[in-house]
Amino acid sequence: MAEEVVKEKTKRIRKNLPPEEPEEPQQAPLVDADTLKTGFGLFVLFLSAFLTLAFFSYLFTWKEDQDKVLNFSWNIIFSKDATVENSLGRIGALLSHVFFYDLFGVASFLIPYLLFAWGINITFKERLFKLTRIAFNSIFWILFLSTLATFIFPDSGFPFGGGLGNNNYDWLSTFIGRLGLGILLGIIGFSTLGFNLKESYLKLQQWKAQWEEQRKMAAAARQQEADSELDEFYREEELKADEGYEMESIIPEDTTPPTPHFEDPTFELTDTGAAAAIPAVPATILPPLPHEEEAPFTMELIEKPVEETPEEIHQELELAPVIPAAPTTGKKEKFSIEPDFEIEEIQAFGSIDVSEIQDPVAPAHFGLDTQYDPRLELSNYKFPSVDLLEEHGSGQIEINKEELEQHKNQIVQTLSHYNIGIEKIKATVGPTVTLYEIVPEKGVRISKIKNLEDDIALSLAALGIRIIAPIPGRGTIGIEVPNIKKSIVSMRSLIASERFQKADMELPIALGKTISNEDFVVDLAKMPHLLMAGATGQGKSVGLNAILVSLLYKKHPSELKFVLIDPKKVELTLYKLIENHYLAKLPGEDDAIITDNKKVIYTLNSLCIEMDTRYELLKTAQVRHIKEYNQKFLNRQLNPNNGHRYLPYIVLVVDEFADLMMTAGKEVEAPIARLAQLARAIGIHLVIATQRPSVNIITGTIKANFPGRIAFKVTAKVDSRTILDAGGADQLIGRGDMLLSQSGEITRLQCPFVDTPEVEHIAKFIGEQRGFPSPYELPEYVDPKDNSGGEKFADLGDRDELFSEAARVIVRHQIGSTSLIQRKLALGYARSGRLMDQLEAAGIVGPNLGSKAREVYIKTEEELEQILQEIGEI
């Protein structure tokens, strides 16, 4: 650098040029443009967060703040007299009111989203979001959602559509009618939704293709690296051989060496529940080992009989290792042996002769003269027999030895490609899946095997591969592989099983069979509630029928009552025949199976009243559980004259919970959560099923009180985590394949199949017997909103000053709507509601009809003027 400066000065001297004047350093600005842009971007992000929180707070505080905002208007910002409930203060209340009430309604939430995208782009100086597209989409959705919200809730006090939605609705409904507006909104909504779904699907397919390409390239790179390392190894060995080193073994060109990367593990196949004989496997001749003589290494079939007993039969078969052939290269190979193959066959657990099954009888103490017998009123009741159920399938598992051997070899080969050695393999054959348990060599990381789930599924060409790493309490890693030929689990076999017949449980339920083909029976009273979820057609309705049928086979009508809620109106109608035996309903209702959403709310609140009543009885009896209470009552230690009675178990069954949450929301969630929290001790248990396992349906409050959960096949991992708090349900194969989460443990089961005609036969068998005079009646529940007394009707002596104007608006438009008074008179929700109560008390409008507008009794303004004169308003 110094030499260049000297040369430049020399040139100037030779050319008689004046010396170069030094440049004055420029002073840097205090704040540069980048800092200003970043600061502005942060301000936009702050504004987005501020509006979001203010809008959410407005959803809960709009009633209290609306009158204040309307009275003060923009002066509310500086007024000390105005106190608001909005979490973001007076500015938050004012901005929320402007956006919701005057502008866009619920579509206002798109404004913070647009600000967020803009702020992110400004702050990070990158086009992370496409603002132009987001802006056009936001404008479209604001117009559409505001109009749609007003169309759906035209008479609601809450400004769902805002001023924009109200104007659009009024103009369009006048122009093309309400029906035409509904058709137009439906066409626009479904067309836009379909377009977005198609675009998302194409993007997903493109992403999937890119991911597959990257995965293949990574696999090829790994394989190339492994081949290069192997070539380098052989090159070093050849150099050593040239220098006089002795090689351990050279495989000739015409031999078939083994390739696995593990040494002398054993393979063991355990099949519990199969009774069929296993065909012999022909012996396979293997090439001699390099360090042995030319004697052939053959596969030998060894049968080791075990002493047979009436309860159990053990038969073990051992197979010598099967070594897959591989092309030879004439280079040195390490020699190792495939895992031994061992099969253990055990008879199905607890299977008994159907002819020996008798109807369940009451416990021994029921026969004592000194004790109360709850079954006395229906002492001739006969339990349904197992002959009413059909035997689907043979009830035994058919072992396909070739399939097992093929899957075993493919698993071993796939793991060997990634240098994962195996010490032992054990397989357990179930009705629909086979569990392969592997014990890896020491030093192998479990996560390495877990990450190969897709590779193993690809090699087996099977759907529903699930890896359990590790299996709790067993010290092995499980790989569940669906069977090619699946066995049907019949409900008859489970009901006839010894485990179910001799179950010492309060509410036994036969849920299915495990992978080891064992009958799985649980006690609903100990669960104590059950949440079922899964995609459509994967077995939820069959699972509900299995639960109900199990209880019908074990419990007397005096000991158990069902509360059946069926929003779909077709799934649980089969049980109407047992209405006077097992069902419970509200007083005065004609149908015991509830299908109306409003009656669902009444029924749930009635169950809460029943729960509180039962707790009072337990408190008086000085016991803590329904079992202790009933035992005291049976021993005649409780006086019926003091209100004590025998308490049957109550099981609430909801077939489609998502529909209730969509239509009723908090009115359903609150009593459900209360029952789930408190009702277990007094014998009320809940079984809830839904096909939409989203977080807005299965809320955190509900999940926290449902420790027992069943997940059938779902379409996405997020749905599995919503149900089970773990993955796996998206890997099921459907048709009754399910996961049960109980006490933190997840068990894979095959749900028993019970067909609709079988349920009809059972219900008909019970319904033809003598039952109780009427169904079990729940306590009467009175909705506070329907109460005609109290504060609902305001005192006409203290009328609002705008009473006459509100009455004229209502009569002129012939719409008894609180929102109409809000819009026309620019009032808040609370004041408009008081005016509507005063109009009802004056006989101008009818009672509240929920979401519908009230009926207007006065048809002309002349009649209204006469009424106003009578009450002294004019």
Alpha carbon 806 to chain centroid, angstroms: 48
146-164 residue pLDDT tens = 889 888 888 777 888 888 8
DSSP string, 460-516: HT-S--EEESSPTTT-SEEEEEE-SSPPP-BHHHHHTSHHHHT---SSEEEEEEETT
Q: Tokens 């420029």: give the residue.
A: 26
Q: Is the CA virtual torsion 185, 188, 189, 190 positive or negative? A: positive
Q: For residue 580, name the pLDDT band (cuts at 50, 70, 90).
A: very high
Structural domain includes residue 254: no
Q: What are the φ and ψ backbone dihedral angles of 406, each rounded to 5 degrees? A: -65, -45
Structural domain includes residue 617: no
Would the pTM of this model clear 0.75, i.e. be above it? no
In this predicted model, which residue has the larger pLDDT, 308 or 553? 553
508 and 473 within one domain: no
Q: Tokens 């809000």: give the residue.
A: 822
Domain containing residue 746: CATH number:
3.40.50.300
Which domain, by its residues, includes 461? Answer: 266-347+397-482
Q: Are 522 and 550 in contact (CB under 8 A)?
A: no
Q: Are 614 and 671 in contact (CB under 8 A)?
A: no
Q: What average pLDDT does range 683-698 have in this prediction?
A: 87
Domain end marker among 777, 804, 821: 777
Q: Are 615 and 682 in contact (CB under 8 A)?
A: yes
Residue 198 pLDDT > 50, yes or no?
A: yes
Give the whole-angstrom CA distance, residue 651 versus residue 685. Answer: 5
221-264 residue pLDDT tens = 777 776 666 566 556 655 555 554 443 333 344 444 444 443 44
pLDDT of residue 16: 55
797 and 760 within one domain: no
In this predicted model, which residue has the larger pLDDT, 334 or 738? 738
Structural domain includes residue 82: yes
pLDDT of residue 235: 61
Q: Are 705 and 678 in contact (CB under 8 A)?
A: no
803 and 770 within one domain: no
Q: What are the φ and ψ backbone dihedral angles of 455, each rounded to 5 degrees? A: -65, -40
71 and 201 within one domain: yes
CA angle (314 as vertex; 311, 319 as ends), nearest 5:
165
Domain end marker among 482, 504, 534: 482
pLDDT of residue 556: 94
Q: Which of 82-96, 175-189, 265-279 has the lowest mean pLDDT?
A: 265-279
481-508 residue pLDDT tens = 888 888 888 899 999 999 999 888 999 9
Domain containing residue 426: CATH number:
3.30.980.40
Structural domain includes residue 748: yes
pLDDT of residue 565: 92
pLDDT of residue 478: 85
Structure tokens at 492: 């008859």
Nearest to 433 by CA among 412, 458, 403, 471: 403
Q: For residue 332, name the pLDDT band (cuts at 50, 70, 90).
A: very low
415 and 278 within one domain: yes
User: For residues 385-413, b (16+ Cβ closer than 10 Å) or e, as one string?
Assistant: ebebbeebeebbbebebeebbebbbbbbe
For residue 565, list its beta bridge partners: 594, 654
CA angle (641 as vertex; 636, 647 as ends), nearest 5:
60
pLDDT of residue 307: 40
pLDDT of residue 670: 86
593 and 474 within one domain: no
Domain end marker among 171, 188, 213: 213
160 and 48 within one domain: yes
335-364 residue pLDDT tens = 333 444 444 333 333 333 433 344 444 343
Quick count: other Cβ atoms within 10 Å of Cβ 436?
Answer: 24
Structural domain includes residue 318: yes
Domain containing residue 812: CATH number:
1.10.10.10
Structural domain includes residue 363: no
Q: How many domains does one find in the chain?
A: 4
Nearest to 452 by CA among 405, 409, 407, 411: 411
pLDDT of residue 14: 55
Q: Which of 332-341, 392-401, 796-805 has the lowest mean pLDDT?
A: 332-341
pLDDT of residue 389: 92
Burial class (CB in 10 A: 0-12, 13-18, 19+), 827: buried
pLDDT of residue 10: 55
Q: Are 149 and 142 in contact (CB under 8 A)?
A: no
Structural domain includes residue 226: no
Average pLDDT value over all residues in the chain: 77
Q: Which of 76-85, 296-305, 777-786 has the lowest mean pLDDT?
A: 296-305
Give the whole-angstrom CA distance, residue 114 versus residue 124. Answer: 16
Residues 6+ apart with CB under 8 A from 739: 710, 711, 724, 728, 729, 732, 746, 747, 748, 749
pLDDT of residue 654: 92
725 and 801 within one domain: no
pLDDT of residue 203: 75
Give the whole-angstrom CA distance, residue 702 versus residue 497. Answer: 34
- Cα–Cα distances (Å) from 592 to 150, 391, 472, 577, in that order, read 36, 31, 44, 10
Burial class (CB in 10 A: 0-12, 13-18, 19+), 651: buried
| Structure letter (DSSP) for residue 650 | E
Q: Are 818 and 157 in contact (CB under 8 A)?
A: yes
57 and 164 within one domain: yes
Structure tokens at 574: 């089969």
Residue 545 pLDDT > 90, yes or no?
A: yes
Residue 425 pLDDT > 70, yes or no?
A: yes
322 and 273 within one domain: yes
Give the whole-angstrom CA distance, residue 454 versus residue 97. Answer: 52
160 and 292 within one domain: no
Structural domain includes residue 222: no
35-85 residue pLDDT tens = 888 888 899 999 999 999 999 998 888 888 887 787 767 777 777 677 888
Residue 813 pLDDT > 80, yes or no?
A: yes
Give the whole-angstrom CA distance, residue 421 versus residue 448. Answer: 12
716 and 590 within one domain: yes
Q: What average pLDDT does range 89-94 have in this prediction?
A: 86
